[in-house]
A = this chain, B = another copy of it.
Amino acid sequence: MTARTLRRTGVIPPVVTPLTADGEIDRPSLERVVDHLLDGGVSGLFALGSSGETAYLTHGQQDEVIKVITAAAAGQVPVLVGAIETTTNRAIERARVAAALGAEAVVVTAPFYTRTHDTEIDRHFRDVAAALDLPVLAYDVPVCVHSKLGPELLLELAADGVLAGVKDSSGDDGSFRRLALGARELPGFSVLTGHELVVDAMMLAGADGSVPGLGNVDPHGYVRLHEAAVRGDWATAKAEQDRLVDLFDIIRAVSPGTASATAAGLGAFKTALMLRGVITTNVMSPPMRRLDAAETARIAACLDRAGLARL
């Protein structure tokens, strides 16, 4: 396996980005998130993913996040870093910064804002990879970028040594299955699911690991799920996943019609971490609002039902 490939397994949560009351990066809280995740047994950290509010952070804030996470991880697990930018040159610029700050690999989406095409997506990943000395993972997230990375394209890029893996947040499990099947012959290519409600099912389908946003709240649960799946104990994996599906109800705590799905979901993760004593505030980046007291109470009830300790 060359420096351009890596086969990552296990649970690699997309780390949330805690903020202070005035909207700055909350360094001590972020360090505690990393500790909390390491304590849960995760095998890697994904900084500056969608769950990390990457699209809400200035480049200066992003740099700070990378520094805090890599310092806190202290080499115990690798840190993957998102370089989520609209197009090729911008992604390369951010990926180089991430590399300089200690990323083991970078995670890149298809172009967005602009309309794109498979021929351009192909060139995009090739240009990004050619400009870098570290592994590149594709981030398949149609809900954000409004195009889907097909298994044929991904497998060809993998075979050509362009891509070292995929984080699949497409929700298209048929496509994921075909990707996982094709990847069996690509030893340096990681197939990771971001579909946090069916990690057991996607492990059965051939995933190497998972990148669950909800893993911020309950990393121990996702690690137990992963380990059960790896040893073929599907009944235990399923029971753990069912409990986590129930926990995921925290994203419905938000009062209907008052916030985006992003604000509802990430707000719930942050509020749960605040209730668990890991982070100090549940402040969100503008223009998102933080969850209020009534919404927080609903999340507390979910945590209790899932058996998760809180302050």
Residues of chain A having any CB pair with chain B under 8 Å: 23, 50, 55-59, 61, 84, 86-90, 93, 111-117, 119-124, 127, 143-146, 171-174, 177-178, 181, 195-198, 200-202, 204-206, 232, 234-235, 238, 241-242, 245-246, 257-263, 285-289
Contact = CB atoms under 8 A, between A and B. Distances in A.
A288 B120 contact: yes
Which applies to chain A's interface (DSSP): helix, strand, loop or mixed? helix
Contact of A259 (B120, B124, B178): B120
22 contacts: A50-B114, A55-B111, A57-B90, A87-B287, A88-B285, A115-B143, A116-B287, A117-B263, A119-B259, A120-B259, A120-B260, A120-B288, A124-B287, A171-B171, A171-B173, A173-B198, A174-B196, A177-B241, A181-B242, A181-B245, A204-B204, A205-B241
Contacts of A205: 198, 200-201, 238, 241
Contacts of A285: 87-89
A197 B111 CA distance: 27
A82 to B, nearest CB: 11
A289 B117 CA distance: 11
Across the A-B interface, the 10 shortest Cβ-Cβ residue pairs: A201-B201, A174-B197, A123-B287, A117-B260, A124-B287, A55-B86, A88-B286, A120-B287, A55-B113, A115-B262
A173 B197 contact: yes
A90 B201 contact: no
A235 to B, nearest CB: 7
A289 to B, nearest CB: 8
Nearest to A256: B257
B197 A177 contact: yes
Nearest to A145: B113
A117 B265 CA distance: 13
A178 to B, nearest CB: 6
